[in-house]
Amino acid sequence: MSPANGIHGNDRGYIIPIGGGEEKLHNPEILDRFVDVCGGKESRIGIIPTASELEDTGRNYEKLFRKLGVKHAKVLPFITREDCQTGEDLQYIEKCDGVFMTGGNQLRLSTTLGGTAVAKLIRRRNAEGMHVAGTSAGAAFMPEHMIAGGKEGSTPMVDMVTMAPGLGLTNAFIIDQHFRERDRLGRLLTALAYNPFAVGLGLDEDTAAFISPEEELDVVGTGGITVIDPTHLTYSSMDLARRGDPVSLIGIQLHILVAGGRFDIAAREAHPK
């Protein structure tokens, strides 16, 4: 699976993973920025609450986007795989400027949407210019390689993370969320030890990465993003480690970026502003 590249000369849309717990009432900076990227109050936004087991999650986001001035915000209730194959909700995505995936359980997203017409449509529409945001589980689901679960802790261990196929909007990143709050450094490092090709993004709560069509990442929000770059990895003990063993990684580069910080994906360079 490859990243969503532009089609017929068009730029792909933004990819916007959010670390969960985004401010929704007093200063919803991340959601405001998402609305602006989508085109402002006249934009059309589809809300996918599949990850959540709470019946009111989608409606709450619909009310929130309308409160932010969006005239066309609609819940797309993809509950079963059958829901994801045909129907007017797919037609709505064809007209969307942006899609927003809520939090919950990323395995509910991958097992419900994975391989369906909805997943293929979101990938195609992102390649055509539609913007895709996801918070918490919705963020984890975005890349090709998805962190499905794991253990807390700062030291990588061979059995610390469970991986599964994600939506496949990008293969450049592996994304983890609630990062600082739930002590997830070790499981992201473990995921990268299995796949040193990608860059790891650890997103704190109320913090988002706005990844542009030009392959630049901008940080928005009140927390930080931990960027782990394995480009210069010189040694990994992953192939020697047994179940329960810690993993040695030498040459990993780690950046902490806060609001206004940037990361150039192609050059793999971090900048404070």
Q: Which residues are catalytic?
A: 136, 178, 205
CB 138 within 8 A of CB 103: yes
Nearby residues of 262 by Cβ (< 8 Å), 6 or more positions away: 216, 217, 218, 219, 270, 271, 273
Proportion of the chain in helix, strand, coil states, percent, rounded to 5? 25, 30, 45
In whole angstroms, what is the distance from residue 130 CA to residue 113 CA? 18
Tokens representing residue 245 in the block: 């063993």
40 phi, psi to nearest 5 deg:
90, -155
Run of H or E including 185: helix 185-194
In whole angstroms, what is the distance from residue 58 CA to residue 217 CA? 27
Sheet holding 173-177, edge to edge: 173-177, 199-203, 224-229, 253-258
DSSP state of 242: P
Nearby residues of 88 by Cβ (< 8 Å), 6 or more positions away: none
